[in-house]
Homo-oligomer: A and B are copies of this chain.
Amino acid sequence: MATVNSYSGDMPTPDRTSLDQIVSAARDILEAEGLAGLTMQSVASAVGVRAPSLYKRVQSRDDLIRLVAEATVQELSTRLEPGATVADYASEFRAFALERPAGFQLVMAPGAHLPRPGVEYLLAATEPLLRATALLAGEEHALDAARTVTAWATGFIGMELSGGFNLGGDVEAAWDYGVERLVAAISA
């Protein structure tokens, strides 16, 4: 006679985890252990299953990494509210990067052989910046200006995260100097 916890013929077993839980655990492991530490086993263990079970929800480790990247851009998008100035946008961009450095790097500077988030996620994140740069540089230079600001901010943050500022000096002051100069540079 079947008890509540035993197998009862053809009754489907309840799911022991979910894709959301897997991606969320993967994001935390990425920040704590780096990309090399993001293994199928570590993720599986974090959500309470064995590694092979992950393949029910995810096609491969690369697929999981792509989902992590997409969740990261999506979170970034919600942080970058429309209506902000270019300086606000840059500030929020940097704050996010310092909170989730590994995720930020995965999105903004992935290695050549790493999966990239779908274009639609990147477009959503750059939308509000484009509106801010249009105000400064004019509609016809909005894209160039947005790229210039994004490139600078991404490069700056990357150097900051990888300790590239070992020549000394005040990092905050260097950021403020850069924002000020960039904004002036793209203003028509």
Contacts and interface: CB of A to CB of B under 8 A. Distances in A.
A113 B29 CA distance: 13
B181 A169 contact: no
Interface residues of A, number: 50
* Copies of this chain held together in the complex: 2
A65 B54 CA distance: 31
B152 A151 contact: yes
Q: Which 7 A-B pairs have the closest CB atoms?
A: A155-B155, A151-B155, A34-B113, A185-B185, A154-B155, A151-B156, A181-B185
A5 interface: no
B177 A148 contact: yes
Interface stretch (A9-17, A39-47, A100-108): A100-108
Given A143-B169, A152-B155, A182-B185, 4 more contacts: A105-B109, A112-B161, A152-B152, A154-B154
